[in-house]
Amino acid sequence: MRLEGLRKELEQSQGYKALRRGMKENKYPVGVYGVSESARAFLISAVYTKEKESLFVFAANDLDAKNLYEDLLLYESEVFYFPGKDLVFYNIDAVSG
Angle (CA) 59-82-43 rounded to 5° is: 45
The residue extents of the domains of the chain are 4-81
Alpha-carbon span 61 to 80, nearest angstrom: 16
Query: What does each C-alpha distance from 41 to 25, 33, 44, 49, 76 come to in angstroms?
Result: 23, 13, 5, 12, 9
pLDDT tens-place string over residues 6-52: 888 888 999 889 989 888 888 888 878 888 888 999 999 999 988 87
Alpha-carbon span 44 to 68, nearest angstrom: 10
pLDDT tens-place string over residues 45-67: 999 988 878 888 888 888 999 99
Sequence-ordered alpha helix ranges (H) in 25-84: 37-51, 62-72
Alpha-carbon span 37 to 64, nearest angstrom: 9
Q: What's this model's pTM, rounded to 2 decimal places?
A: 0.75
Residue from 13, 2, 8, 80 nearest 49 by CA: 8
